[in-house]
Amino acid sequence: MSNKHPKAELFKLTAHLNDRGNVEMDLECVDPDQFARLMEKDLPHYEGTFKVASLLRYLKSVGDEMMEKSSRYI
């Protein structure tokens, strides 16, 4: 079944166990300010731009905290 509605990945936090038994963590997040600028320029009729940018700021702050605090465990 094909996905008829394209999706853009905005935030991703992953933890993988590598072949040496070490946990590798990675955080990827769209920059909220860049997101807002591009949306205002290319899709100005979208009404949720600033809500999504705020969500991205929140996710980034929580993700940064998780990355920092995870060093206690790995």
pLDDT tens sequence across 26-55: 999 999 999 999 999 999 999 999 999 999
Structural domain contains residue 19: no
CB neighbour class for 4 (10 Å; exposed up to 12, middle 13-18, buried from 19): exposed
Number of domains in the chain: 1
pLDDT cut 70: percent of the chain above it:
96
Q: Say what the pLDDT of residue 68 is.
A: 95
Please report, for residues 4, 14, 18, 43, 58, the alpha-carbon distance to residue 67 in angstroms, rounded to integers and kept in the order given: 34, 10, 17, 33, 14
Mean pLDDT score, 61-65: 97
Q: Are 30 and 57 in contact (CB under 8 A)?
A: no
Q: Quote the domain boundaries for residue 50.
A: 26-70
Structural domain contains residue 51: yes
Structural domain contains residue 4: no
pTM for this model (two decimals): 0.84
